[in-house]
Structure formats: C-alpha cells, structure tokens
Amino acid sequence: MESTKEFDRVKAVVLSAHEDTSAEAKIYFYDKWAENYDQDVSALEYRAPSFAAKTLSPHFTGDRPSAVVLDIACGTGLVAKELKSFGFGHFVGVDGSQPMLALAEGTGLYQDLKLCMLGSEPLPVEHNAFDVAMLVGGLSDGQVPVKVVRELCMATKAGGFICMTTRSNTDNLVFKAGLEQELKAMEEHGLWRCVQVVTVDQWERAVSHDEGYIPGAVYLYQKL
C-alpha cells in the first residue's frame, strides 16, 4: 500500500509538468523537483540511463578513463553514474536547471558543468571535442527539441558516438516520428551512421494510464 501511495504521489508530480509546457515553466518544474528527482524516478522504474550505457558500451573500443563524455540534460548525474560503472571517467554536463547541476556536482563525477536552456541557447561547448555525446531522457514532447541533435553531432569528434533516447508512448509518437526523420536525414547527408537502435517494451511505469509500462528507444550513431 505504501508503494502504491508513493507511486501515486510521483505520478501527480510528473503529470503536473504537462500543465504548462513553456520553457520557463519546465525549468521551474525541474528546479523544484531536483531534491526528490532520484527517489521519484526510481519509483517510476526509470532505467533509460542504464539502457543507454549498455547500448553504447559494446561499441566503444577506445580508452574509457580518458574519453571525454558530453552529458546533455544531465540532471542529477544518473547517466554519468551508469557510464562510470562501464569504465568512463571524464564527464562534462549541461542542463537548464541550476539545482539539478548542483546535485550533479555533488556526485564528484563531472569535470565541468554548464547551465544552458537547451534549444533556446547554443550548446556552450566546442565543436569536435567529445568522444561520446549522450542525451538521455530529455528528447520528448515539450522538452528538448529535435534540432539539438545536430548540436550533439557537431560537438562530437569524427569517429565518436552519439547516444540518444526517447519514449514511445502514445503522447510522444509525433515527436518520435520527427526525431527519427531528422536522424535519418542527417545520415543521408553523411553526418553520421546508425550503429544500433534498441527498442525497450518496459521503459518506465506509465503515469498517463492506470497501470502498465510505456515503451522507449535508444539510438546510437557514430559521427563520420
């Protein structure tokens, strides 16, 4: 019963974020959510950081401790924690929420952290500078816009990897179709090649319906 109450509380928190989709409202929401974020996404059984790290790891053959990883929409640092377990050790995080960045800094995993309103401001990083670029959890309707994936590609070194995720629930299908159209267009233009697409049925617990899970997808590309 206690776990049901906790999930209902988290569901209400997440659904409240859908009420106002302006960029300012989103940042305010994440600023307020930061303190309870890790606990709440655990209740949602949110495992996108793990799925992304497990998709990238078999394909990365370089020196992991020295590889520089760009973690876009880094939040509290969940992606860096997962990649650390696979041997990566150098992280640069970017997020739009200062309280989230403060928690990421507290992990001790990041060499640099930058505040940026993703999609409204250019990424505050150099081009061709990163061995890996990650955007996990942020690519969805009302959050990070599709156009940001081109900035990820530009920030990555030739031969480097770009790993992204999105949800496949009904409310996000239009966004997902637009994202996949852009990923394909970039491949056709010779910017990168598709390495792997992983679909996951149980991405996280559904909040828009009474029960069950929503699906999701991981996209792994290599810059040419």
For 198, phi then psi, to 5°, come to -115, 125
pLDDT score, position 15 = 86
Which residues pair with residue 200 across a beta bridge? 216
Give φ, ψ of 52 to 5 degrees: -65, -45
Show Cβ contacts of residue 207 under 8 Å, excluding neighbours closer than 6 positions.
Answer: 10, 11, 14, 15, 44
Q: Where are the alpha helices (DSSP H) in 107-192?
A: 148-155, 173-188
- pLDDT at position 20 is 72
pLDDT at 80: 98
Are 14 and 7 a contacting pair, CB within 8 Å? Answer: no
State how far the Cα of 161 lies from the Cα of 133, in Å rounded to an integer.
6
* Identity of the residue numbered 153: C
The strand pairing partners of 20, in sequence order, are none
**pLDDT tens track, the chain, 224 positions:** 557 788 889 888 888 887 777 888 888 999 999 999 999 999 999 999 999 999 999 999 999 999 999 999 999 999 999 999 999 999 999 999 999 999 999 999 999 999 999 999 999 999 999 999 999 999 999 899 999 999 999 999 999 999 999 999 999 999 999 999 999 999 999 999 999 999 999 999 998 865 699 999 999 999 99
Q: pLDDT value at position 99?
A: 98
Under 8 Å between Cβ of 59 and 220:
yes
Sheet holding 90-95, edge to edge: 110-115, 90-95, 68-72, 130-135, 156-167, 213-223, 192-205
CATH of region 46-223: 3.40.50.150
pLDDT score for 137: 95
Task: Map out the domains of the chain as residue ranges.
Answer: 46-223
